[in-house]
């Protein structure tokens, strides 16, 4: 992941501004950390479960001055469908070109085939940022080796609470 990855802007299909700009979110004085959740695919059941689990506990993230942002490698209409189904209280960004996901080196498996078909090859990625000084620094990275290889909500909450 290179540092230019920290300055991206994508269409937001859920809570927050219509266009989400990471550098702007990182300078929000009410936010000490940002958890970026890179999802695999619109159809991924484990991805859908993760955003629902985080949504159910989102108040705990806000109490810890943390923001959660999910990135879906799909067009905005697909991301909007997730929001309609799950009423997410955090930003859900559409990354149809996968440019941001690729800038963050979201892992894939199965070589060229995995790169072509997200549901087969793209693995989950989560990055926790410390934004206490307005300049995002990576506090923790989780690179999934399998579709279900992702931290629990409690692990994320522990990470953001450690940033204080």
Whether 40 maps to a domain, the answer reads yes
pLDDT tens for each residue of 40-92: 989 999 999 999 999 999 999 999 999 999 999 999 999 999 999 999 999 99
1 assigned to some structural domain: no
H/E stretch holding 163? helix 153-163
Helix (H, G, I), strand (E, B), or coil: what is residue 11?
Answer: strand
- Whole-angstrom Cα distance, residue 40 to residue 70? 11
The number of domains in the chain is 1
Specify the pTM: 0.89
70 neighbors 48 (Cβ within 8 angstroms): no
Residue 2 maps to a domain? no
Q: Is residue 92 part of a domain?
A: yes
CATH number of the domain bearing residue 144: 3.40.30.10
In a domain, 4, yes or no: no
Q: What is the pLDDT of residue 122?
A: 77
Q: Is the pLDDT of residue 102 over 80?
A: yes
CA distances to 59, 71, 126, 141 from 37, rounded to whole Å, are 17, 6, 5, 10
Domain extent, residue 82, equals 9-163
List residues bridging with 21 in a β-sheet. 9
Instruction: Give the chain's radius of gyration (CA, Å).
Output: 14
What ranges in 57-110 are assigned the alpha helix state H?
58-63, 76-86, 99-103
pLDDT, residue 5, reads: 58
Q: Cβ(63)–Cβ(41) under 8 Å? A: no
CA angle (81 as vertex; 61, 35 as ends), nearest 5: 25
Tell me, yes or no, whether 137 lies in a domain. yes
pLDDT digits (tens, 9 = 90+) for 111-135: 444 444 445 457 899 999 999 998 8
């Amino acid at each position: 992941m290179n540092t230019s990855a920290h300055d991206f802007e994508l269409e937001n299909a859920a809570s927050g501004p219509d266009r989400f700009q990471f550098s702007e979110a990182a300078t929000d004085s009410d936010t000490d950390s940002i958890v970026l959740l890179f999802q695999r695919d619109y159809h991924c059941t484990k991805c859908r479960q993760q955003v629902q689990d985080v949504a159910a506990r989102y108040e705990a993230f806000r109490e810890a001055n943390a923001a959660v942002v999910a990135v879906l490698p799909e067009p905005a209409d697909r991301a909007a469908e997730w929001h309609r189904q799950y009423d997410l209280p955090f930003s859900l960004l559409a990354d149809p070109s996968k440019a941001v996901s690729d800038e963050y080196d979201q892992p894939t498996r199965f070589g060229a085939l995995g790169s072509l078909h997200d549901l087969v090859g793209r693995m989950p990625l989560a990055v926790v940022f410390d934004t206490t000084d307005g300049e995002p620094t990576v506090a923790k990275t989780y690179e999934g080796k399998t579709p279900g290889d992702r931290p629990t909500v409690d692990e994320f909450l522990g990470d953001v609470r450690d940033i204080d």
